[in-house]
């Protein structure tokens, strides 16, 4: 991609598919967090926000959104998380912006992974053939 | 042989889209009621789906993004969600009808009441979704669906006056016994059936499941140009055979079994057996298409991992949506709702939701950031696609009033 391409936060970031460092789909860009640079006074994208809370918030369900966000930030992953919480991905962890947004983290570090894991643990595991490799 | 099997995705998508439960009945019904006066709608709809399916396949091959991903991205979360709810609902109705259709086809040979077969059919559909590899699925049901070509044989056996048939089809008018509104209602039903959105959901997601890349652009074109025209031909053959066999005897089509009547009378027992296999495969294929599409649209809207390529363990939410949708559709089907009515409403309603799905495809197919500089739409495709978008908008606006005026086409 050309270096001088101008990116628009709403057009090139919002609602794009996220992929983790192994190429696993791990949610969408549900919101972006913008901060103002102290030195220059310029706004910049500080982090990508992802998870059901951020989506609910953007859909206009503010109370539900705040509640969901609080619920998911509380559950810290003790693993290899260099993230401050599980819904904000600082822009440093974004490795490429294109048709998909590539992240340098693992899907498990994000709050949106919790429901996936819940269904695996409580339902999928109990159905035979869940590990079948449905490939050619 | 590999080349032949390479178009299996297009053939399955088209057979599931054009000659599924809804269309089998709609085509036969319009043939019996309107003669060939609505044949042109099938052709217009066929060209539309060729245009947009090709675009969706091209986008999927070049950047790996299936249709509902684009819907969320270009329409934003709110309109995307509205489209998700609408598409999901239509999909659900269609799935209910398809499961009932498979059950009806099986009850024709087993003489067991079809309601008892619904749970078994739903279980079988789930089993294929859960375990069968995608490519095997598209090949088995795509090829078996070709049994419906027996309708073309039927037409040839009847030996109609081809010139007259062609001139009837090319000089459409509203028959004296029908009003302009019922004519428009059935026109929209046929158009909605031809361009029903789950075709592009399934086709583009299937392209990703089959791992298409830039090298497969030719395969994409072949799939689209062989699959969908085949669907059009089958649709027209069903319509014409109903027109020639059923209309003179004043039989109006209300049941799936009546669709097979022309074949039985013209080709005999073997024909009947073949057509029942074809109906089974087409409705089963459409059930798979809609069940998987339910999972595809939900997963792609929310960004979950999805697909049959991954084990259920690695795409849990996708598989949960598929199984819950199947369960719901089976329960709805068991209540004894008339599958023909359900499917009629679902295809007419899908006409109302079409623009929300097709507009994002057209936008992305013109975006060099996705497509690369060489593979964006050409001028002719854009001009045609824009005309279709206008038609889709007009149809979407007209749909609901027409349902009310005609009281559902009666």
Best probe of the A interface among B303, B322, B323, B324, by most A CBs < 10 A, is B303
Q: Is the pLDDT of residue A1 over 50?
A: no
Q: Is the pLDDT of residue A134 over 70?
A: no
Under 8 Å between Cβ of B356 and B82: yes
Task: Return the bridge partners of B244, or none.
Answer: none
Partner-chain residue, chosen from A100, A132, A136, that has the shortest CB–CB distance to B131: A132
Side-chain half-sphere CA neighbours of B309 within 13 A: 13
**Inter-chain touch B80–A123, beta carbons under 8 Å:** no
**Inter-chain touch B317–A17, beta carbons under 8 Å:** no
Distance from CA of A97 to the nearest CA of B (A): 11
**B214 and chain A in contact, CB less than 8 A:** no
Q: Which residues of chain B have pLDDT under 70?
A: 1-2
pLDDT for residue A2: 46
The sheet with strand A88-90 has its strands ordered as A31-36, A43-49, A88-90
The closest alpha carbon to B303, from A5, A1, A107, A9, belongs to A107
- CA A114 to the chain's CA centroid: 12
Chain B positions touching A58 (Cβ under 8 A) are 77
The 10s digit of each residue's pLDDT in A69-120 is 776 655 555 555 567 778 889 999 999 998 899 999 999 888 888 889 999 9
Chain B positions touching A97 (Cβ under 8 A) are none
Averaged pLDDT for residues A35-58: 89
* Distance, first Cα to last Cα, chain A: 33
**Inter-chain touch B304–A136, beta carbons under 8 Å:** no
Chain B positions touching A134 (Cβ under 8 A) are 131-134, 308-311
**Inter-chain touch A15–B76, beta carbons under 8 Å:** yes
Under 8 Å between Cβ of B322 and B129: yes
Residues 6+ apart with CB under 8 A from B393: B355
**Inter-chain touch A135–B130, beta carbons under 8 Å:** no
Strands A43-49 and A100-103: unpaired
Partner-chain residue, chosen from A18, A119, A132, that has the shortest CB–CB distance to B303: A18
DSSP 8-class letter at B407: T
**Inter-chain touch A100–B65, beta carbons under 8 Å:** yes
Residues 6+ apart with CB under 8 A from B10: B53, B203, B222, B223, B224, B226, B227, B228
**Cα separation, B164 vs B145, whole angstroms:** 29
Q: How many CB pairs under 8 A join A and B?
A: 98
**Cα separation, A114 vs A116, whole angstroms:** 5
Q: In this predicted complex, what is the ipTM? A: 0.87
Partner-chain residue, chosen from B303, B305, B320, that has the shortest CB–CB distance to A28: B303
Chain B: residue whose CA lies nearest to A132: B311
Q: Tell me the DSSP string of B210-236.
A: TT--GGGHHHHHHHHHHHHHHHHHHHH
The 10s digit of each residue's pLDDT in B285-299 is 999 999 999 999 999
The closest alpha carbon to B409, from B179, B174, B178, B182, belongs to B182
pLDDT for residue B381: 96
pTM of the predicted structure, to 2 decimals: 0.93
**Cα separation, B101 vs B97, whole angstroms:** 6
**Cα separation, B96 vs B403, whole angstroms:** 21
**B198 and chain A in contact, CB less than 8 A:** no
Q: Is the pLDDT of residue A135 over 70?
A: no
pLDDT for residue A136: 36
Chain B positions touching A60 (Cβ under 8 A) are 78
- For helices B269-302 and B114-131, give the axis angle rounded to 10 degrees: 50
Task: Return the bridge partners of A102, or none.
Answer: A19, A96
Distance from CA of B370 to the nearest CA of A (A): 6
pLDDT for residue B209: 94
């Amino acid at each position: 991609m050309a270096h001088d391409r101008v990116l628009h936060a709403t057009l090139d970031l919002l609602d794009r598919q996220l992929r983790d460092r192994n190429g696993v789909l791990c949610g969408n860009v549900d919101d972006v967090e913008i901060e103002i640079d102290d030195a220059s006074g310029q706004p910049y994208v500080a982090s990508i926000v992802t998870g059901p809370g951020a989506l609910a918030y953007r859909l206009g369900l503010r109370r539900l959104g705040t509640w969901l966000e609080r619920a998911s930030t509380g559950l810290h992953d003790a693993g290899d998380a260099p993230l401050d919480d599980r819904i904000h991905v600082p822009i440093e962890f974004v490795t490429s912006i294109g048709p998909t947004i590539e992240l340098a983290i693992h899907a498990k570090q994000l709050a949106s992974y919790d429901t996936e894991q819940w269904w695996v643990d409580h339902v999928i595991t109990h159905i035979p053939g869940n590990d079948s490799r449905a490939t050619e | 042989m590999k080349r032949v099997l390479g178009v299996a995705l297009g053939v399955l998508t088209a057979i599931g889209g054009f000659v599924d439960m809804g269309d089998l009945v709609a085509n036969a019904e319009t043939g019996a009621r309107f003669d060939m006066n609505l044949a042109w709608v099938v052709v217009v709809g066929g060209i539309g789906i060729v245009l947009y399916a090709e675009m969706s396949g091209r986008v999927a091959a070049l950047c790996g993004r299936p249709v509902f991903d684009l819907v969320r991205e270009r329409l934003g979360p709110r309109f995307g969600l509205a489209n998700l709810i609408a598409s999901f609902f239509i999909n659900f109705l269609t799935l209910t009808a398809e499961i009932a259709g498979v059950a009806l086809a099986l009850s024709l040979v087993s003489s067991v009441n079809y309601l008892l077969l619904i749970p078994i059919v739903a279980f079988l559909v789930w089993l294929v979704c859960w375990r069968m590899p995608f490519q095997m699925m598209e090949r088995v049901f795509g090829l078996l669906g070709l049994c419906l070509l027996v309708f073309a044989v039927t037409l040839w056996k009847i030996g109609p006056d081809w010139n007259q048939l062609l001139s009837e089809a090319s000089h459409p008018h509203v028959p004296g016994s029908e009003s302009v509104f019922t004519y428009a209602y059935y026109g929209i039903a046929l158009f909605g059936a031809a361009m029903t959105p789950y075709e592009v959901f399934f086709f583009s997601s299937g392209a990703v499941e089959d791992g298409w890349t830039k090298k497969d652009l030719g395969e994409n074109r072949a799939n689209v140009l062989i699959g969908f025209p085949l669907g059009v031909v089958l649709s027209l053959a069903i319509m014409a055979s109903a027109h020639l066999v059923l209309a003179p005897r004043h039989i109006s089509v209300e049941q799936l079994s009546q669709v097979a009547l022309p074949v039985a009378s013209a080709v005999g027992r073997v024909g009947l057996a073949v057509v029942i296999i074809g109906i089974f495969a087409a409705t089963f294929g459409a059930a798979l298409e809609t069940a998987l599409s339910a999972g595809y649209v939900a997963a792609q809207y929310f960004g979950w991992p999805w697909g049959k390529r991954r084990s259920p363990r690695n795409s849990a939410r996708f598989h949960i949506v598929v199984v819950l949708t199947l369960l719901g559709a089976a329960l709805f089907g068991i209540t004894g709702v008339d599958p023909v009515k359900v499917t009629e409403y679902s295809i007419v309603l899908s006409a109302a939701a079409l623009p929300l799905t097709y507009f994002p495809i057209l936008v992305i197919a013109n975006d060099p950031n996705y497509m690369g500089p060489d593979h964006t739409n050409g001028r002719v495709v854009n001009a045609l696609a824009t005309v279709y978008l206008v038609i889709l908008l007009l149809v979407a606006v007209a749909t609901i009033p027409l349902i009310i005026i005609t009281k559902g086409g009666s």
